[in-house]
Structures are given as C-alpha cells and as structure tokens.
Amino acid sequence: MQELFDILREFRDSRGWRKYHTPKNLSVSISIEAAELLELFQWTTSVEDEMRVLEERGKEVEEEVADILIYTLFLCDVAGIDPLVAVKRKMEKNERKYPKDRVYEF
Ligand SMILES: [Mg+2]
C-alpha cells in the first residue's frame, strides 16, 4: 500500500496537480469514474449481457475500476484516511449490521 501511495504522489506532485486535489474535486472524480464504469453496462438487460461485457470489454472495466481506486486513494491521502483501516472498520460495522445467521432477500 505504501508503494502504491508513493507512485500516486510522485505522479500527482511531479505535475503540480496537488492543488487541484481538493476533497470535493476528488469526490466528484470518483463519481465520474464510477459513472464511466456503469456506462460499460448501459443497456444490458440480463446477467448474461453483463458477463458478455466482462468478456468483451474486460480491459475497459479494469481501467475504470483502476480510475475509481486511484481517485479514492488520492482522497484518502488528502483526508488522512488509511484505506486498509477504513475498510476493516467498515467491514466490522457491516458484520454487526448484517449478522451472518440472518436470511437476506433482495
Ligand atoms: Mg475513466
């Protein structure tokens, strides 16, 4: 994780982009990249269609997932959030909110 942060900071800072990385700008960017991911599945009407997108456009899906993660990590960086701690804490909260012995139907 530290190596990843080093790569991201070097990329950002060597281009003078740190000043643009405000919490709002990064949150907007995460949302835009999530929409780009969603766009790849636009007009699919079945799980089979969705799986075909993964087969035929998997590289694009991977790139949009990477964009989301990159902006998320940039936001973690400026907000002082440790992403591993944040995920662990939230999963502990989810464990309490959704006990495993309960039946869930969506
Ligand atoms: Mg993108």
In angstroms, what is the span from residue 54 Cα to ligand 1's centroid? 16
In angstroms, what is the span from residue 33 Cα to ligand 1's centroid? 5
By the 8 A CB rule, do 37 and 44 touch?
A: no
Per-residue pLDDT tens for 59-77?
999 999 999 999 999 999 9
Residue type, 58: G
pLDDT score of 95: 96
In angstroms, what is the span from residue 64 Cα to ligand 1's centroid? 5
In angstroms, what is the span from residue 13 Cα to ligand 1's centroid? 20
In angstroms, what is the span from residue 66 Cα to ligand 1's centroid? 8
Which residue from 12, 6, 43, 47 is spatially nearest to 29, judged by alpha carbons? 12
In angstroms, what is the span from residue 72 Cα to ligand 1's centroid? 13
Global pTM value: 0.93
- Judge whether residue 40 has pLDDT over 90: yes
User: How long a stretch of residues is the chain?
Assistant: 106
49 burial level (CB within 10 Å; 0-12, 13-18, 19+): exposed
